[in-house]
Amino acid sequence: MSSRTSGTGVPRVRGFGRIGRAGGGLRFPNSDHEQLAKPTIAPRGPMRARRWWPWLLAGLAVLAVAAAAIWAVLGSSLLDVRSVQVAGARELPVDEVRAAAAVALGTPMLRLDTKGIEARVAAVPRVATVAVRRALDGTVWIEITERAPVAIVRRGSGVHLVDATGADYAAVPVGPPGLPELRVARVGPRDAATVAALTVLAGLPQPLRAQVLVVAARSPADVVLRLSTGQAGNEREVRWGGVDQGDRKASVLGPLLTRPGKIYDVSSPTLPTVA
């Protein structure tokens, strides 16, 4: 390789062109310079597409699992009703509860109308509360609470049971022992006299409640009790009045009953009387 001096005083090297001054850099042949200025870049399109394949496959797998789950629940018999069980029945026959529920075996569990079942069972007179739940083994559980009698109502030659709400829910040949007779013009949960009489009865101390033969009410403010003395035909009448001051009336009546008499009036507990 030879060199020579150009007219400008700058040495030139044959084959490389002019050698630049300080800070000017070197001047290379055009072909080599173009190769350094334009590096080769690999196409990126196919690589990006390959990165999306795992996500696409995962999404398809999730959709397949979801579709299989929906089919298992709605389209197959895996979660169909297989049995109906009743809990809490005592006096009420279990078959009567099942008949009222009207749950068809083979019904998909998710299509089961639990509110409708509860409404149908609640319409059975002896049922006080009901709850329906579903189990994964295909069992429908119907849990009921039966009404408990607190008094009886005589109608003709029959006896009807009344619970604490005033509901007349069953007719029986003979009333359970120890229950007082309820005497009101119209028995029912919405009858004010019924509610007053049963409220007074529920608020009595147990020893006093055990003596009650009859609880009567001509109005909510006129509740009257008939108490047993243990001797037939020798009963005592308690004029209770309204439901207010129940605890005070009960505390006054206890000592008052130690006095001889037939009529005990505690309707005004500050001025009780015996006659």
Q: What pLDDT is recorded for position 227?
A: 96
Find all residues with CB under 8 Å of 57, minimum gap 6, and list them.
none
Does the reported pTM lie above 0.75?
no
Q: How many CA atoms lie within 13 A of 221 on its CB side?
A: 1
Q: What pLDDT is recorded for position 21?
A: 46
pLDDT band at 41 (very low <50, low <70, confident <90, very high): low
Q: For residue range 179-230, what is the model confidence (pLDDT) as tens digits?
A: 999 999 999 999 999 999 999 999 999 999 999 999 999 999 999 999 998 7
Q: What is the mean pLDDT of the chain?
A: 83
Q: What percent of the chain has pLDDT over 70?
A: 73
Give me 15's structure tokens.
């084959």
Q: Long-range contacts made by residues 236-239, C-beta under 8 angstroms, separation at least 24? A: 236/261, 236/262, 236/263, 236/264, 237/262, 237/263, 237/264, 238/264, 238/265, 238/266, 239/263, 239/264, 239/265, 239/266, 239/267
Find all residues with CB under 8 Å of 87, minimum gap 6, and list them.
141, 142, 143, 144
pLDDT band at 78 (very low <50, low <70, confident <90, very high): low
Task: Check residues 31 and 258 and name the one with the higher pLDDT.
Answer: 258
Sign of CA dihedral 48, 49, 54, 59: positive
Q: Rounded mean pLDDT of 149-158?
A: 91
Task: Check residues 51 and 162 and name the one with the higher pLDDT.
Answer: 162
CA angle 11, 17, 18 (to 5 degrees): 40
State the Cα–Cα distance between residues 49 and 56, nearest whole angstrom.
Answer: 11
